[in-house]
Structure 1
């Protein structure tokens, strides 16, 4: 047989060649080939930093720097939509009943009589928890009853105070109305009295005028007729 019959195609069984190293691979290779005291390649480090996020490299700050910045961001976000309703979370209740015992307790004996020393604490804790829950429920019911009685008494006091105020208000209004009627009547009587005094004064003035006229007539009135009669009765000189 000739050697040409057993000749294999070129490149089929050749050793595989190393692929072209990537940037990260090159940097990793350079780091692996780098000695302990040798400096790192700056070009590969810059490429790695360019691929990393800004927060990781320290090039930009994502979150708020201070508490004032965080509060400012919250206020800006709140005032951006003023028409949006703000829902405040409800305050936790002060009276909270403790968690009750489990309904089913597994991996223990079914009865306290058959429970061993290692299982007795399970039933004891369940009993204590149930007693604490019942005690808390009793305290809550007592607090609710006291609160209800307090509000009922406060409402009763308010109603009594409102009734007393209404009674005093009506009494003051009646007194005010009576005083107004008295003042009106006094004004009317004062007007009539003033009118009567005015008419009396006018009559007195008329009487005074009449008296003065009579006095004037009494002084010069009778002398004039006597002079007239004397002039008539006196004989004339011409005769």
Structure 2
């Protein structure tokens, strides 16, 4: 079970997070805060895995608060203002909950956090997530954390990897999409799937990933933003 805190200047909003956290059974909500300076002091003395953090607060924005943390846990931003979504995304937020959010939407965000924490867990006994594809007459194991992007080339997919040669496998893009965890990979174009945590920035309908500039297809733009806004399920 992961440990979390929640920060929001609205007590009612904190009650909702408390209720949903208890309902999920997957998270221990250690404390809640309406004052950011109290939360900052707590985090200087205690470690947590995850913060539920309101963006629009009177003394300091949630985004500025998170930037000031010396040790940054995973964060799920909560706010009533959708215009903050991209800025929160650029801070590698796990997710972005637009108030008022439902329990199912809360649970979806929590599952993303659990998956990311598992991927980065220091316990070497835990097997890192991977997929297996057939290429060059061999079965090749590809760790998900190494994937930069997946590109469709007619009947093939080209899997671009960090510090490794790309792997060319004969399969349609949809097939490999079904093999990937929906919480961590998103299709941004009819020709591209990307891991969310590798995206450096989004600008002018373009996704930037370590030397790659990828267009966002108009029919996939909504799906990309669903990682940060409370939309209908995909």
User: Which has a greater percent of helix?
Assistant: 1
TM > 0.5 fold call = no
- Higher-Rg structure is 1
Name the TM-score, length of structure 2 as normaliser: 0.14
Name the TM-score, length of structure 1 as normaliser: 0.14
User: Which has a greater percent of strand?
Assistant: 2
**Relative contact order, higher structure (CA 8 A, sep 6+):** 2
